[in-house]
Amino acid sequence: MPSDHDLHRISKAPPVVLDAAYVERLEGLASSAMQHAPEVGDRLFQEIERATVLPSREVPSNVVNIGSDVTFRDNVADRVQTVSLELPQDADIAQRRISVLTPIGAALIGLAEGTSIEWETRDGETRQLTVMKVKPSGANARSRP
Element (H, E) at 42: helix 38-50
Strand segments (E) across the chain: 17-19, 52-54, 69-74, 79-86, 97-99, 116-120, 126-135
Average pLDDT, the chain: 87
Domains, the chain, in order of start with CATH, read 4-137 (3.10.50.30)
Percent pLDDT > 90 in the chain is 73
Average pLDDT estimate for 60-72: 96
**Pick from 66, 90, 69, 89: nearest CA to 143:** 66
pLDDT per residue as tens digits for the range 31-52: 999 998 999 999 999 999 999 9
**pTM, full prediction:** 0.83
- pLDDT at position 30 is 96
- pLDDT at position 138 is 53
